[in-house]
Amino acid sequence: MLDKIWGALVGIGVIGKAVFTRPTPKTMAQRLAMLPTDNLPVTAPVNIYWNKYQVPFVEAESKKDLAVALGLLHGHLRLAQIEIMRRLAYGRMAEMIGPMGFEIDRSLRLLDIGKAVPEIIANMDSATREWAESFVKGLNHLIKHTPELPHEFAILGIQPELWTLTDLITLARVNSSDISWLVWLKLLKARRKLPRQTWETLWPRLVNADGPTGYAAEGLFGGEHVLAGRTRSGSNSSAIAGSRMSSGYAAIVSDPHLPMGVPSPCFVVGAKAPGYHLVGAMMPGMPFFVLGRNEHIAWGGTSLHAQGSDLFDVSEFPESRISEEYQLVRARWSRSRRLRIRRTDIGPIVSDGPLMKVDRPTAMRWQGHRPSDEIAAMQAVATATCWEEFHQALKPFAVSGLNMVFAGGKGQRVGHCLAAHLPRRPNDTPEDVILPASAADSWDSIADTTAMPVRVDPEQGFVASANERPEGSDFPIGYFFSPKDRSQRLAEIFSSKEKLSLDDLRASQTDVAMPGVLPLRDLLLQRAALSTTQGDAQQHVLTLLTGWDGGYQAGRVEPMAFEMLLAEVVRRLGLHRPGSHYHTVWMTHSLLKEDLQAADPTHLAGVIHRALKVVAKKIARYRKWGNVHRLRIEHMFHHLPFVGQRYRFADLPAGGGANTVHKTGHPLVYGPHTITFGSCARHISDLSDPDANYFVLQGGQDGWIDSENFVDQLSLWQSGDYMRIPLRIDTIKETFLYRSVLKPSE
């Protein structure tokens, strides 16, 4: 209670800071002038070319100098974002938000995210270590010489700290958080609160339902919200073979799905040094490209939804198998506190914190607690020239599991592989979310990417990945996967023409058709037909739905009518509570369809009849899907009372839905709501032309609030347009009209 009272006082102080401290608007010229360019730890001058969106292309004479420049750019473009993420990685949220952050920090520290970091660093090969250390030097140069700090530092009461290699790898580990954690956070609450029999009936349906969701984590500054922002929860990535492209060369088309908001969770960069030449997207603070293309290949990725973690019941462990330590946690404007952390030989006892609270001591084993080398893997991907090199490069990649999509190899080939290290669990469905301790024996045998399914040069001429369950594995990759709506829709699009153009690929990224909902629509219509007393308003809704093709365009009324009718029927049947659990595993439509099929047809008809009256009134009020389905471009400070509106930069009608290719996630729809999860960036590359690379971010490149480039790509993103980012250095010099030169120390 004292923490809550004092936390409220700290919150008032934060609001007061925000009232009297406003962001300083900056033009692009002013922002570029803030970049420290003198006395850098480089051996020769480094050229950085900029386009009007503040996208840099770095030209360096060595890989080491390139890494320094990239570290400098990460600090320049996203210093506040990186500093906040570092505190998250170490469980230091209370330093920013006061005593109410103690329990968040406890839960984060119980995850033991940095456990493997010392061994990872000790095992690094010399080239990877030099690259990572040079990146850190560039980031630290920015911190030491930046003339002005971003607005977030004043509001949160923090100062930037110099980085170490340990910090960098720890941040990489938190960015590799397991997708299963987000699902567990919700399901453990359900398990705790539901009657045992209800849970035992619900669990088998959920664990076999195929799909975790970004909505598994919602809330202000909560541990769930914190982890959701770091977890690779979704994405689409497809590769089309040269035989299917009008250019005669393979192409890549990718769009990562992450929580919406600004600054964006990634930004666009080009880079050239001896043996290293590519354009792509990086995540703030991560010294590698998560997607992109070089002179030979292009690549993208989606979350594999692999289960790289398990929970184990350790309630019967003797004290000799449990160790404990106390860690000091500092809090803003408050006293420090010592938190107890307990560990077992299986893993940390995560049930000691509120995030994964259960009724018995429960330990977590995570593949990320073991050493692996994702930086080396992605560096090898960035320089690969063919499928074989690409696939082999991913062997050290362990967490979090990814579907990796490939295009290239003399411009023609396509492929898809799984990048992860996973235990060879038995194929039986787990009986509960918490396993007996004896089940940890399956972790004695770990499979890497070379032991998992591969698709190369399929007959249809393309591969498409959208987080669906992978086929062909002889052990469980995971238990929660996305429905096949997006992958099936992508297959429809790519099969619709003998030859595909760049315009076709662009259209695919803004596609909002969801034919997979039509069977559920048909079921509602069939049951509604059993009632013969429909009024004119009710009949109008039924007529709309009868003619609907499953399109979720913002200007249409039909998707709103369907989603609102479904929600109202669910509420009246008392299914909204299990519906929230279906929502956690991303299978709302399919599991609700099972429930509605099981309902008494006559009773369901009466429920639909009454629900139609409510929906008819809502349709008359809201008129179209985009009036209830809203895209708000907001900074995390928009949660602050009284001043939060200052940090909202757009409130727009949106098309798409929970399982459209252009993903704009939402729960059951009772009225206006905000999209929380979806396509935050897009990338297309046609390998017929080194300069045919197109990117766009949902917000902007620059993380400086109110700068010229903070949300300037939003109009491109809305219209389905892109920035062209050439690979040829001569084209860069012609089209990127601004230049910075990093000078070495004298």
Q: Residue 585 has which token pair? A: 């595993």
Strands (E), 458-560: 462-465
Rg of the chain's alpha carbons, rounded to an integer?
26
Rounded to 10°, the helix 601-622/558-573 angle is 130
Which amino acid is it at 168? L
Token pair for 116: 């493997």
SS3 assignment, position 51:
coil
Write out the DSSP string of 341-406. EEEESS-BBGGGSSTT--SS-EEEEEGGGS---HHHHHHHHHT--SHHHHHHHTTT--SS-EEEEE
> How many Cβ atoms are within 10 Å of 607's Cβ, its own excluded?
22
321-327 contacts at long range (C-beta below 8 A, 24 or more positions apart): 321/345, 322/349, 327/109
DSSP 306-340: ---EEEEE-TT--GGGEEEEEEEE--TTS--EEEE
> SS in 3 state form for 241-301?
CHHHECCCCCEEEEECEEECCCCCCCEEEEEEECCEEEEEEECCCCCCEEEEEECCEEEEE
62 is catalytic: no
Distance CA 378, CA 89 (A): 21
Q: Are 181 and 41 a contacting pair, CB within 8 Å? A: no
Strands 673-674 and 422-423: unpaired
Question: In angstroms, how far is the first alpha carbon of the chain from the final one?
Answer: 58
Separation of alpha carbons 695 and 708, rounded Å: 18
- Which residue type is seen at 155? I
The C-alpha atoms of residue 611 and residue 591 are separated, in whole angstroms, by 20
Amino acid letter, residue 249: Y
Distance, in Å, from the CA atom of 49 to the CA atom of 279, rounded to the nearest integer, reads 13
| Residues whose CB is less than 8 angstroms from the CB of residue 627 and which lie 6 or more positions away in sequence, other chains included | 560, 653, 672
- The answer to whether residues 669 and 487 touch, using CB atoms and an 8 Å cutoff, is no
Residues 6+ apart with CB under 8 A from 626: 554, 555, 652, 653, 654, 655
310 is known to lie in a ligand binding site = yes
Nearest to 339 by CA among 119, 160, 96, 90: 90
Backbone angles phi, psi at 607, to 5 degrees: -65, -45
Which of 107, 176, 233, 235 is catalytic? The answer is 235
Give the C-alpha separation, 258 to 232, whole Å. Answer: 7
Classified as helix, coil or strand, 500 is strand
The span from the CA of 455 to the CA of 416, in Å, is 5
Q: Are the C-beta atoms of 63 and 133 separated by less than 8 Å?
A: no
DSSP 474: S
List, as residue ranges, the binding site for Ca(2+). 310
Enumerate the active-site residues.
235
List, as residue ranges, the binding site. 310
